[in-house]
Structure formats: structure tokens, C-alpha cells
Structure 1
Amino acid sequence: MARRADVLDLAVLGLLHDSPLHGYELRKRLATVLGPFRVLSYGTLYPCLKHLSDQGWITSAANDTDPVGGRRARIVYELTAAGKEHFDALVDESGPTSWEDESFGVRFAFFARTPTEVRLRILEGRRSRLEERLDSISTSVARSRERADQYTLELQRHGLESAQREVRWLNELISHERGEQPPTA
């Protein structure tokens, strides 16, 4: 399965872990979890829901209380016991894909249900990845300083500052997870 599909599966299962939802409400909440810049169409959501249902991780039922003025009943999706087990297994994973840009935010959204040692591995992996990115950006800025226009340099500076800010934030989270005092800025 593609990495984006894995991230979407995790997000859907995590949201359904809280309560049953119908498609429209699920899509709205997914937009919050996935971020405002990742538009999720129904053409992506419903195949995901079908896949999760085929796996036995969710069930669906028509909500009879909704029809008003001839509107169709909404289909409500709910997590099964197998779905809860699968969700627990997903949040226990802490490999390299869990700290990549594509999945880190979704993984972080469900940290409350993630074991401490897994949270630490993900946070440390994310920090390591960003430190690599910082080195790369710094090298790029140094090489292109004389050739690049002011807007390209500003974009590189913005990327550098964003990565530095996230590394500081991750350091604070890691210290908190370890029970240490967060570093002072």
C-alpha cells in the first residue's frame, strides 16, 4: 500500500476511535488532522473507507434519524474491535516513514494513544531528519548566495528558520517525554 494511503488509514481509524462518524463529518475532521493544504476529496475518502471495511476494521450503517424532507440517510462509520487492534498496531510503529513530512503530523495528532518509547523514537527521528535538512539548506544557501536573487535567498532563509524552529520545538518535546526540563531558548 502507498505511504499516503497508510497515512490516511491511520487518520481515519484514529478519528473513528473517538466516535462513529458519517462521511461528511469524517472529511471535515480529516482536513483538520491532515492540514489545510491537503485537500481530501470524496473520491479519495470513500475508497479508503471501502478498503478499511473490506479489511474488517470498520463497519457502516445507515443512520435512520437523519432523513429530513426526503434527504437520504447518512452512512455512519464505526471502528470494529479488529480496527482498534489495527490502530493500536499502527501507532506502535516508529520506523523512518513515521517522521517524514508526509506522515509526521498525523502520527503526532494521535500521540496521546502512542506509547512513550514510540513517541520518543518518532520525535528523535524527526529531529534527526530536520537536522539533515538544516545541513542541506545551509550548504545550499552558502553556495547560491551570490547567484540567487533576493526572493530565492529569502525563501531559503525562511526554510532554514522554519527547520531551526521545529528542531527547537522537538528538543522541548523530547525533554518533556524524558521527564527533563525543556531547554531554555
Structure 2
Amino acid sequence: MARRGESIELAVLGLLHESPMHGYELRKRLNLMLGWGRILSYGSLYPALKKMLRADWIEERTVTNPGALTSRRPRIVYQLTPAGEEQFVRLMSEVGPNAWEDDTFDIRFAFFGRTDMEIRLRVLEGRRSRLQERLEKVQGDLSLTQKEMDRYAAELQRHGVESVEREVKWLSDLINAERNQRPADNTGSP
């Protein structure tokens, strides 16, 4: 399982691959990317940025706004270095279990446009396989424990099973679209 710091690093490298950004903008974009359940604090972001600065994956640039009042502090903008570009490409090329785990899959998926089709397929197939294993286990546990659960616990388990089934179908559709080399139909229509 990937550490949270590694997930943040991948996300920051991916965002800075698009364009340089200051800390506030990075945090805002990361929170959008990570989703409502995983809000990123400055206390998590800035240590990750400092680590990436030490590794020479990113660099700081001070930008002043000529029209701002003199009391306004200059902004620090972060941008990718050539070493950071190489690190991003290396991380996006990994296809092992970390690539399809819950902690990193969404972030990697957000940057799939910069990933080779074969790598995308391997990650999608790995994620689908992991979810199918999880689904089989939960369905097996559900049939054994359903009689022992109250109505709400059983309903929560049923909801979990349906969510995983939907994601497996979505992944299968994406895999088929990749294999056919056409954009995935996100409308849900046949």
C-alpha cells in the first residue's frame, strides 16, 4: 500500500507537469482531485513540497505582482524540474499493486492522458482484478453473516457490494474502450 506522502507527491508532480502553481492553488487542485473524503491540509502539503525540493523534483520561483500594494508578500510558485519530469514519468509507468490500490488509483487515473496505452490497460486490469477479489470475499462473508446482522448493517454491506460491482463494470468498459482504441462512453447509454 502506498504511503499518503507518496500519493501527494505523485499528485503534485502531475499538477506541476501541467503548469507551475503556488501553494494555495496546488492545495485547491489537490483537494478537488482527492475528493471530498480526503481533504489535504497545508501541514501535509508543505512537508511534501520541501521533500520534493530537496530531491530536486521541483523548484521555487518568487513572483511579485507589480500592481499589488507594497505590503503584499511575493508569491512562491513551484515548477517541475527535469528530474521531477523523469520522476513523474517513472511513477506513472509503474504497474504493480501500488498502481491499483485505493490510495493511488484515482490520482494515477487523473493523469492517464500522459500514460502509454499498455500501461493504462495493465493498471485498469489490475484494479479490476483487485476489486473482483474484494467483491468475492465480501459476497462470501455477506452470505455467512447476513442472518447475524441488523437491517442497517446488512444494508451498508449491500451498498458496498453494489458500489464495487459498479466500479468493476466501469473498469471493464474502460478496458474495452482502450482495447478498441476509442474514447470511453461516459454517458452510460448503450
For the aligned pair, the TM-score class normalised by the smaller chain equals over 0.9
Inter-partner Cα distance in structure 2 for 1:69 and 1:24? 20
Q: Which residue of 1 aligns with 2:107?
A: 106
- Spell out the pairing of 1:58-97 with structure 2 (5 A cutoff): 58-65=58-65, 67-68=68-69, 70-97=71-98
Counterpart amino acid of 1:25? E
2:27 matched to 1:19?
no
Structure 2 distance, partners of 1:123, 1:3, is 20
Secondary structure of 2:76's aligned partner = strand
TM-superposed CA distance for 1:68, in Å, is 3.2
Tell me the TM-score normalized by structure 2.
0.91
**Within 5 A, what are the aligned runs for 1:98-177?**
98-177=99-178
**1:14-37: CA deviations, max 9, x gaps?**
000111100000000000111111
Larger RCO (CA under 8 A, 6+ residues apart): 2
- Specify the code of the residue in structure 1 equivalent to 2:4: R
Once the two structures are TM-superposed, the CA of residue 39 in structure 1 deviates from its matched residue by: 1.3
CA-based RMSD of the aligned residues comes to: 1.9
Q: Which runs of 4+ in 1 moved over 2 A?
A: 66-69
Q: CA deviation at 1:93?
A: 0.6
Matched to 1:134, the amino acid is: L
> How many Å separate the matches in 1 of 2:25 and 2:35?
15
The alignment covers a number of residue pairs equal to 184
SS in structure 2 at match of 1:154: helix
Residue identity opposite 1:44 in structure 2:
S
Q: Percent identical across equivalent pairs?
A: 53
5+ unaligned residues in a row in structure 1: which ranges? none
Superimposed CA distance per residue, residues 100-124 of structure 1 (whole angstroms, 9 cap, x where no aligned partner): 1111100100000111111111100
- Give the match's secondary structure for 2:148: coil
- What SS does the aligned partner of 1:39 have? coil
Q: Deviation at 1:180? A: 7.0
Q: Deviations over 1:24-81 (max 9, x none)?
A: 0000000011111111111110110011111111110211117436121111001111
Q: Distance in 1 between matches of 2:48 and 2:42?
A: 10
CA distance in structure 2 between the aligned counterparts of 1:154 and 1:68, rounded to whole angstroms: 57
